[in-house]
Every structure is written in structure tokens, then in C-alpha cells.
Structure 1
Amino acid sequence: MKSHFLTLALVSGLMALTTASAFAQSAAPASPTATPRVDQREANQQQRIANGAASGQLTAKETQRLEKEQAHIDKTEARAKSDGVVTAKERRHLQKEQDVAGADIRRAKHNKRVAKSS
């Protein structure tokens, strides 16, 4: 129960940060480092993870692994932005990472494992 509550709190906090970040970036003018599609997709994936954790479709371990995968994508995006320009190749790489993460979320939510109820 404690780990499930901790997971829900973690997911909720990350969603709030992601949503605020996406909103702040959408209000800014377009720049070579702008990645609105990546940001929107990231917010959608965070929401899917939060919904899965809240409904019990994801175990605490699955939620933690998916969150770690999202953090890796965040780091990749930050690295891509670090030189001031996100190239087409870097955008494709981010898209591919998000494709894999999306498939992992779906697979984890629809497997036979469920969160332990207390």
C-alpha cells in the first residue's frame, strides 16, 4: 500500500511538472530547440502511466520502470537541445524512443499483472 501511494504521488508530481513545462513552452515563440510534438507526446505518455497506476493496471515496479524510461527520454531531449538546435536526426531519434516507450506502456498496461490491493 505504501509503495502504491508513493508511486501515485510520484506520478502525480511528474505530471504536474510536465504539464506546466509543456504549457510554458507552448507560449514561447518557435525556436530551433522547440520540440512541441515531443513535449505533447511526453505529457500524453505521463498521463497514460498515471492512469495505469491509479487503475491498478500497472504494478509499482512497472510504473517505476516506465517512469525511468520517460526520464531517459527527457535526458535525450535535453542533450539534443544543449547545442542550441534540435536537428532532424535528433527529432527522429526522440520519436523512435517515444515509439518504444508508448509500446512499453501499452504492453505493461495490458499484461496480466495488476497492482496488489491492500
Structure 2
Amino acid sequence: MLVLASPSAAQINGRQANQQQRIDQGITSGSLTPLEADRLEHQQGRITRTADHLGATGGGLSNRERAYIHHRQNRASANIRRQKRDRQFR
């Protein structure tokens, strides 16, 4: 899990947690197939690892890095929404 100590890091952590909850809900409801859930969770993991790596360079995330993570989270959110609504059920 991403562990950075700035307000922007708290936003990133919160959003990652929210998106994971959406994936978990999709698994529970059956609106995500196991393969879809695996892919979405893998995408979440890549975002977390990227944010961890960028934040570990010292001084927290720059505005550009924060925007990059935000963009990736937006894409992940859209993927979650699309996969949950694609009418493929387990």
C-alpha cells in the first residue's frame, strides 16, 4: 500500500482504497468476472508501485508526478466502470 506523508499522498491513498472497494463490490455482486477483477487489481498495483517509486525519490511528489498518478487513477476508474457495466457476469 502506498505510504507517503503529504496531503496529496493521502488523496492518492484514499482514491486507491476507494477503487479497490469498487472492484471488491464488483466481485461480490458478480458484475466482474475473475479475469476482469485480476486485471483491474493488477492495474491498481501498478499505480501504487509507481506512486511509491516516485515518492521515494525524496521530497514527496512533484506537481507533474501527482498529475501523472491522477491521470492513471482516472484511467483505472474508467476501466472499473466499463468492466462492471459490460454485461459479462461470472
Global fold match (TM > 0.5): yes
How many residue pairs are counted as aligned between the two chains?
Answer: 89
Q: Does 1:106 align with 2:81?
A: yes
* Percent identity over paired residues: 37
1:44-68 Cα distance to aligned partner (Å, 9 max, x none): 0000000000100000000000000
Secondary structure class of the residue paired with 1:74:
helix
2:51 maps to 77
For residues 92 and 68 of structure 1, the distance between their equivalents in structure 2, rounded to whole angstroms, comes to 21
Secondary structure class of the residue paired with 2:26:
helix
- The one-letter amino acid of 1:71's match is G
Structure 1 residue 42: Cα displacement: 0.3
CA RMSD of aligned residues (A): 1.9
Q: Does 1:43 align with 2:50?
A: no
For residues 42 and 58 of structure 1, the distance between their equivalents in structure 2, rounded to whole angstroms, comes to 18
Structure 1 residue 112: Cα displacement: 1.2
Structure 1 residue 79: Cα displacement: 1.2
1:97 maps to 72
For residues 11 and 17 of structure 2, the distance between their equivalents in structure 1, rounded to whole angstroms, comes to 10
The 1:94/1:48 distance shift into structure 2, 3 A limit, reads same
1:50-96 Cα distance to aligned partner (Å, 9 max, x none): 00001000000000000000010011101111111210000000000
For residues 74 and 38 of structure 2, the distance between their equivalents in structure 1, rounded to whole angstroms, comes to 18
Unaligned runs of 5+ in 1: 1-17
Structure 1 residue 31: Cα displacement: 4.2
**Normalization by structure 1: what TM-score?**
0.70
For residues 31 and 83 of structure 1, the distance between their equivalents in structure 2, rounded to whole angstroms, comes to 14
Unaligned runs of 5+ in 2: none
